[in-house]
Structure 1
């Protein structure tokens, strides 16, 4: 037993076969929520190019480039040396070091511009001579240098009171440059025999007094309020350089 299904008749629109010309005139549906695409003529404005107006602009652009190039450095010879950019002045370091060599005629004028490049060189030299003697004391020397500079800075400002104008940078520079006698002592101790104990003590005492006198004169000359406390400042400097000389002796 079979069922019969009723099929509705197909009705074409009036005007002929759907395969005819009316099918080409049908508009395709657009996607929902999509704005209509603007035409090309409405989005791209008309742009006009004027060759006469472009010539001066290019000339001015070229002129700006030539001006910037002219203001720059012409060659590498006009640039500052690398040591000057790093704040290292070998002539100034040599003058300060040479002024320490004579403890009776120290020139405090060259030490007014304090720096740390010279003291660092002396500290490294001291560590090198100690290393040649078989003593690895890099950390000990660095720690004692920092403590000694802070100690002398505090002592001087406490003695000078309100009149004291010594800063920590100047104090560190003076203590570092006055380490030159101790550095010379460490270099000479390499040639002394191990059994010469008395000679070592006498030699160390001479170099400690040398460093003490140089540091005291510089501290009093560079800062105010230290002339009346020269003895106490000299005692503090004597303790500092005696401490470093003990590293050389023992």
Structure 2
């Protein structure tokens, strides 16, 4: 039995930001396995090269700072000249800073805002210039469970992810008429290098498992199917939505 042609994205060019490790690397691997030509992005060229060497298929790297407008414009132009016009963009670059809100510094506020929200605006805008001209394209913003709910100590992170959800809807409104579908993917609690301290925290892990109908932490590979769907022709009439891949956590009290 072969896959339905609506899910065929072979031969398409995809850029995944923040993809030298963790969720971004897993999504890049999934797109490669689906037959895409994939560009890994990050600020550390050595780390990107190492990640690319471990991946199968047609993989490229692009070193640029997603929080700097001039760097983004030059980076996207270079990718499209060197690799080809972008068909798929996954805005995955992000970070977490945990602190009580009364103790959260101005500099950390701006840092998390730039990394989690401004980067998606900058990279999305540059990628959409070509996509809207060509009349086709898929943009997937990696939102979060915290686009909907929040725990103490992560209010700034939740603010950025809630805003990213609304930026996703705004991009859909502006670019949908030009043939570009913009949607979000909302991971729940996923085991990664960055969440390892939380995974190892017995009390917190017990809370996650008890709070999640699926009864476990998510794995990075759990997110791949959602990205492949949103990047495919199967999602041509899906716009401005966030697909939560959270084991059901957002559905229960």
TM-score bucket of the superposed structures, by smaller chain? under 0.3
Higher share in helix: 1
Higher share in strand: 2
TM-score, normalised to structure 2's length? Answer: 0.22
Q: Which has the larger radius of gyration?
A: 1
